[in-house]
């Protein structure tokens, strides 16, 4: 390798960098560094003229290595790589020196020291750049199948878009039926479509689609691999019913002697130990709940089997075992939704103590024409029609108290207004009162929806409720301050509905660990960038959508699901995936085949194999993450991560500490 | 007392920073006026102008005159009910204490409190202990009360500036 000729380009980033770091001083200093042949500053290096500056210097033959001292490589490294490629230079002869996020932004009040630190950062980067080698990106074929985890409206929508585009989709749903929360809702704001009427056809479409394979009552238990080539293990839990034979007639359900609270009706009605989750369930089959079934608990009963054998399809099969299936997929979409906050811990509201204090999801079941009361609103305690109903907003949300969430759950203002309107429409003389802190009606048509509720006479009281108790006559007393008049009020109601917030769904942490994707401080999956990459995760090939990334209404959930489907398509449609070449490479002459690299690699990416009569290490470039653990362990220095070689790291260290 | 129009010339926008600097009152500025602190406050139930929420508001805007009039701050019982309810971690109880401190620094102390302090300084106790009370103590098997250590008390009063407050310096 002859003498290198490095060009250093120092960005002002407007005043982001130049407002703190004396870029001209840095430029003069950098000019004198070994290997540097020119150093320039420019207001915005990422702009067109900024990029051209580099391009022209390369094309004139002035430089053969580039250092851009600007923002984080996460932001613009790809941009500048492209500039090198377009100018005819190998794109990997570029190094970024981060003097914004790691310097000017964090040392805003110490311009002198920041300037010195910028010099240090660039000196290190130049030291590394002197030893860069040209590389070629690694290409691997991408599988054309997609795994969608979660069968709520988000998962169903993403699966359908992908299937219609010709990709094979595996849809994995933990519950015995797809549908998610939307299946439990009655009508939906802001248009008041009946939830089932718009959801059920989509459920049927996805189930019947030739490109979709459903795995209900199933969970993802293992994930390995990388974008384009994931290997996934799915655990199918038994229904104890043969899905091919069961006709969903429900005879077994009628005869089963065991009753437990129904999950679907959120405890507002019972279900049996063998049950069909809800009338529109898909698959529309019976499932046995082994935690309550007499056969599984005490080895007796088996009435369902008898009934089904004698009168129906002979579908019951107590001997079914869990089954593990392995799937190969190119991308994964996470759409695991939310759980409703359980307000039992908020003792001041008496949920769980007073029957007539219910959550809004329970109210959805009462409102639903196919619900346990066929749409009649009755007080749970005495089955009477309530004359006065109160809604309490922000239950478990917007609060720093232990067990609460600091965020706003986004949908509860709107769903409370929706239910209030429905109550008013069903029973015009009912009195509905909403106790709120702030009302958040931000979407298209949402404020107008609020307006409609006001027109119908729904009362809105601005004050967070402090306490609910039951008076002697059995009615519930709500105490709050009407902050707009400064008066404390105590008012009796027949029912109180808690507008409970949205929480990450159970199992989110475990799934995040399997997929190696991070969670936000709120416990929901974290997107790669809230604005620019809202459905990507930091792991290539894994996308996330809907309420899995935080509270959302159906409108936003579906928009994200469609975005995730398109992003998955964009990744797979080229048929191959390009991987950065920063992976381990073996110098076979030096390798002694000792296998220590194989021992330390966490990703199973190195293996010692026989080659031409002797043992040498071999790297699977698609699996290697470039962590460098092997390089540290190798006794002969035969295995090194490309462009992160020990001599480069040493050069960087000695340039600051040497 | 309260008039319908807030005269913003009376508001001191810097006051909140002075309050926030006192330990316990740091969260003053995040109050979103939800009112959860008020309904269960035993004082608010009896005194119309006393609302923990209103006190936070007045402090936030810096309406010092209103805050320090009507003995408002001294009505709080320190029951911590509001603090328990507050979703924003504002801790109105401690905030009120901080405001009392500021009031005291500026020489604003209600006469009743001054009297209490004076009693403490002269007798070593806030309340007078009657013979009857002492008899009750003995009946209940409680040990006899120790004599207050006046020397220590005087040092505390002098070094904390309480002595000066109680003795003369009139309200500003
Ligand atoms: C009371 C109430 C009323 C509402 N009303 C409205 C309304 O009127 N209009 C509106 O726009 N929005 C409304 N919403 C919000 C609406 O429910 C959500 O926007 C929507 O359901 C989110 O869909 P999702 O697919 O993201 O999540 P979900 O519906 O929660 O679906 C997630 C699915 O993933 C499954 N799952 C979870 N974890 C796993 C796992 N590890 N493996 C496999 N599967 C898993 C779950 O079983 C579930 O089927 C309301 C919400 C509530 C609480
Ligand atoms: C003061 C202010 C502050 C904001 N701050 C934030 C913030 O902090 N965070 C945030 O998330 N959002 C913020 N927003 C919102 C943000 O601006 C928008 O969400 C975003 O810019 C919308 O992007 P767009 O591409 O849809 O529309 P636009 O940015 O309006 O782009 C539309 C483009 O189409 C062009 N165009 C229009 N008609 C035609 C035509 N007939 N033919 C061809 N071209 C056409 C226009 O010239 C324009 O270039 C803010 C908005 C405002 C007003
Ligand atoms: S390269 Fe980075 S630092 Fe420079 S203008 Fe662009 S964003 Fe700003
Ligand atoms: S065997 Fe179990 S599921 Fe079947 S009828 Fe008996 S209790 Fe119900
Ligand atoms: S949407 Fe409304 S009720 Fe729900 S947390 Fe936000 S402000 Fe509170
Ligand atoms: S407060 Fe007054 S101005 Fe505002 S909406 Fe009501 S009536 Fe109209
Ligand atoms: S409870 Fe807290 S946030 Fe609400 S008004 Fe009182 S101090 Fe403010
Ligand atoms: S601490 Fe004071 S302000 Fe708070 S509830 Fe008790 S008496 Fe009221």
**CB-neighbour burial class of residue A25 (10 A; exposed 0-12, middle 13-18, buried 19+):** middle
Tell me: the pLDDT tens digits for A555-601? 999 999 999 999 999 999 999 988 889 999 999 999 999 999 999 99
Do A572 and A629 touch, CB atoms closer than 8 A?
Answer: no
How many Å apart are CA A446 and CA A415, to the nearest integer? 11
Residue ranges matching CATH 3.50.50.60 in chain A: 145-237+322-337+505-572, 339-503
ipTM value: 0.81
Q: Mark yes or no for CB contact B38/A488 under 8 Å.
A: yes
> Under CATH, what is the fold of the domain B8-105?
Fumarate Reductase Iron-sulfur Protein; Chain B, domain 2 (1.10.1060)
Minimum CA–CA partner of B46 in chain A: A488
Identify residues of B whose CB sits under 8 angstroms from chain A CBs. Answer: 32-36, 38-40, 44-45, 51, 53-54, 85, 87-89
Tell me: the pLDDT tens digits for A107-123? 999 999 999 999 999 99
Provide CB contacts within 8 A for A258, sequence distance 6+: A272, A273, A292, A293, A294
**CB-neighbour burial class of residue A130 (10 A; exposed 0-12, middle 13-18, buried 19+):** buried
Tell me: the pLDDT tens digits for A293-304? 999 999 999 999
Q: How far is CA A82 from CA A9, A44, A87, A133, B65, in A?
A: 16, 17, 9, 17, 65
pLDDT of residue B170: 47
Nearest to A630 by CA among A617, A643, A647: A617
CATH architecture, domain A145-237+322-337+505-572: 3-Layer(bba) Sandwich (3.50)
Instruction: Show the ligand 7 pocket: residues with CB < 6 angstroms.
Output: B 31-37, 52-53, 56, 85-86, 88, 90, 92
Q: Indicate if ligand 1 lies below 6 Å from the C-beta of A340.
A: yes
Residue ranges matching CATH 3.30.70.20 in chain A: 583-641
From the list B44, B51, B87, the residue facing A399 with the nearest CB is B87
Query: Across all residues in chain A, what is the average pLDDT?
Result: 96
Tell me the average pLDDT across A445-450.
96
Tell me: the pLDDT tens digits for A55-75? 999 999 999 999 999 999 989
3-state secondary structure A78-120: HHHHHHHHHCCCCCCCEEEEECHHHHHCCCCCCHHHHHHHHHH
Provide CB contacts within 8 A for A100, sequence distance 6+: A11, A13, A16, A17, A70, A71, A72
> In this structure, what are the phi and psi dihedrals at residue A533, rounded to the nearest 5 degrees?
-135, 60
Q: How far is CA A390 from CA A67, A451, A493, in A?
A: 64, 18, 6
C-alpha torsion angle, residues B41, B43, B47, B48 (rounded to 10):
-20
How many Å apart are CA A225 and CA A220, to the nearest integer? 14
pLDDT of residue B158: 86
pLDDT of residue A2: 66
Nearest to A614 by CA among A656, A586, A633, A640: A586
Domain boundaries, chain B: 8-105, 111-167
Provide CB contacts within 8 A for A328, sequence distance 6+: A143, A145, A229, A230, A231, A232
Tell me the average pLDDT across A234-261.
97
Q: Which of A401, A481, A501 to mutate to test the interface with B (most CBs of B within 10 A)?
A: A481
Cβ neighbours of A484 (radius 10 Å)? 12
From the list B36, B45, B54, the residue facing A464 with the nearest CB is B36
Q: How far away is chain A from the Cα of B12, in angstroms, using its nearest Cα? A: 23
Kindly indicate the confidence band of residue B1, based on its pLDDT and cuts at 50, 70 and 90: very low
pLDDT of B163 strictly over 90: no
pTM of the model: 0.85
Which class is A6-129 in CATH? alpha beta
Tell me the average pLDDT across B82-108.
94
Tell me the average pLDDT across A310-336.
97
Q: Greater confidence, A538 or B169? A: A538
> Under CATH, what is the fold of the domain A583-641?
Alpha-Beta Plaits (3.30.70)
Do A155 and A333 touch, CB atoms closer than 8 A?
Answer: yes
From the list A466, A486, A488, the residue facing B85 with the nearest CB is A466
Chains A & B: contacts with CB separation below 8 Å: 56
CATH architecture, domain A339-503: 3-Layer(bba) Sandwich (3.50)
Structure tokens of B73? 């701050």
How many Å apart are CA A561 and CA A227, to the nearest integer? 19
């Amino acid at each position: 390798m002859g003498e290198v000729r490095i060009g250093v380009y120092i960005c002002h980033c407007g005043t982001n960098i130049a407002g703190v770091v004396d870029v001209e001083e840095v430029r003069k200093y950098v000019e004198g560094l070994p290997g540097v042949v020119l150093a320039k500053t420019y207001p915005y290096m990422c702009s067109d003229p900024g990029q051209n500056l580099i391009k022209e210097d390369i094309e004139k033959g002035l430089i053969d290595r580039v250092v851009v001292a600007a923002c984080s490589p996460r932001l613009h490294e790809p941009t500048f790589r492209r500039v090198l490629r377009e100018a005819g230079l190998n794109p990997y002869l570029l190094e970024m020196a981060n003097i914004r996020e790691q310097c000017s932004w964090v040392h805003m009040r110490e311009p002198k020291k920041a300037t010195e630190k910028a010099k240090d950062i660039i000196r290190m980067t130049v030291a590394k750049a002197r030893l860069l080698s040209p590389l070629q990106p690694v290409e691997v074929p991408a599988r054309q199948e997609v795994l969608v985890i979660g069968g709520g409206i988000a998962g169903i929508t993403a699966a359908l878009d992908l299937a219609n585009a010709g990709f094979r989709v595996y849809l994995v749903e933990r519950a015995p039926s797809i549908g998610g929360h939307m299946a439990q809702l009655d009508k939906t704001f802001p248009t008041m479509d009946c939830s089932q009427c718009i959801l059920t056809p989509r459920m049927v479409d996805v189930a019947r689609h030739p490109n979709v394979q459903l795995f209900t009552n199933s969970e993802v238990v293992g994930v390995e691999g990388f974008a384009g080539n994931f290997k996934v293990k799915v655990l199918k839990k038994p229904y104890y019913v043969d899905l091919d034979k069961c006709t969903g007639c429900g005879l077994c359900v009628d005869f089963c002697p065991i009753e437990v609270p129904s999950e679907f009706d959120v405890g507002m009605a019972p279900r049996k130990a063998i049950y069909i989750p809800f009338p529109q369930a898909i698959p529309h089959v019976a499932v046995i709940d082994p935690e309550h079934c007499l056969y599984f608990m005490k080895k007796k009963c088996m009435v369902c089997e008898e009934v089904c054998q004698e009168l129906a399809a002979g579908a019951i099969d107590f001997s079914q075992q869990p089954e593990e299936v392995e799937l190969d997929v190119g991308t994964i979409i996470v759409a695991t939704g939310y759980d409703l906050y359980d307000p039992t811990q908020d003792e001041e509201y008496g949920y769980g103590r007073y029957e007539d204090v219910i959550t809004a999801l329970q109210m959805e079941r009462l409102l639903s024409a196919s619900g346990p009361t066929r749409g009649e609103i009755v007080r749970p305690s005495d089955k009477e029609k309530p004359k006065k109903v109160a809604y309490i907003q922000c239950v478990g949300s917007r609060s720093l108290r232990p067990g609460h969430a600091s965020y706003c759950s986004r949908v509860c203002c709107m769903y409370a207004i929706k239910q209030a309107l429905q109550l008013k429409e069903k029973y015009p003389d009912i009195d509905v009162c909403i106790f709120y802190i702030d009302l958040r009606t931000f979407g298209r048509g949402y404020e107008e929806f609020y307006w409609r509720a006001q027109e119908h006479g729904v009362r809105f009281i601005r004050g967070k409720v402090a306490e609910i108790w039951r008076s002697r006559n059995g009615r519930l007393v709500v105490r709050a301050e009407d902050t707009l008049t400064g008066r404390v009020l105590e008012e009796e109601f027949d029912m109180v509905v808690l507008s409970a917030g949205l929480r990450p769904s159970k199992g989110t942490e475990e799934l995040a660990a399997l997929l190696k994707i991070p969670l936000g401080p709120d416990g929901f999956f974290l997107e790669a960038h809230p604005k620019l990459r809202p459905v990507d995760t930091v792991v290539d090939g894994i996308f996330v959508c809907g309420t899995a990334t935080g509270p959302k209404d159906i409108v936003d959930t579906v928009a994200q699901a469609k975005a995730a489907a398109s992003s998955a398509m964009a990744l797979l449609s080229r048929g191959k995936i390009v991987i950065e070449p920063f992976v381990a490479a073996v110098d076979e002459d030096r390798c002694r085949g000792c296998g220590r690299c194989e021992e330390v690699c966490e990703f199973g990416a190195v293996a010692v194999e026989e080659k031409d009569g002797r043992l040498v290490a071999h790297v699977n470039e698609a699996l290697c993450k470039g962590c460098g653990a092997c390089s540290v362990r190798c006794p002969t220095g035969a295995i090194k991560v490309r462009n992160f070689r020990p001599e480069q790291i040493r050069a960087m260290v000695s340039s600051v500490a040497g | 007392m309260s008039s319908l129009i807030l005269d913003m010339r009376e508001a001191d926008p810097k006051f909140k920073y002075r309050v926030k600097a006192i330990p316990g009152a740091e969260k003053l500025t995040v109050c979103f006026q939800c009112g959860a602190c008020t309904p269960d406050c035993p004082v608010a139930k009896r005194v119309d102008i006393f609302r923990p929420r209103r006190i936070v508001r007045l402090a936030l805007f810096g309406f010092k005159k209103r805050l320090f009039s009507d003995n408002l701050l001294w009505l709080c019982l320190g029951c911590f009910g509001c603090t328990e309810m507050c979703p924003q971690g504002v801790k109105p109880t401690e905030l009120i204490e901080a405001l009392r401190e500021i009031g005291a620094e500026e020489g604003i102390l209600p006469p009743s409190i001054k009297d209490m302090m004076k009693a403490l300084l002269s007798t070593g106790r806030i309340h007078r202990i009657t013979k009857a009370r002492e008899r009750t103590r003995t009946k209940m098997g409680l040990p006899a009360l120790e004599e207050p250590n006046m020397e220590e008390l005087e040092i505390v009063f002098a070094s904390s500036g309480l002595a000066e407050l109680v003795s003369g310096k009139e309200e500003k």
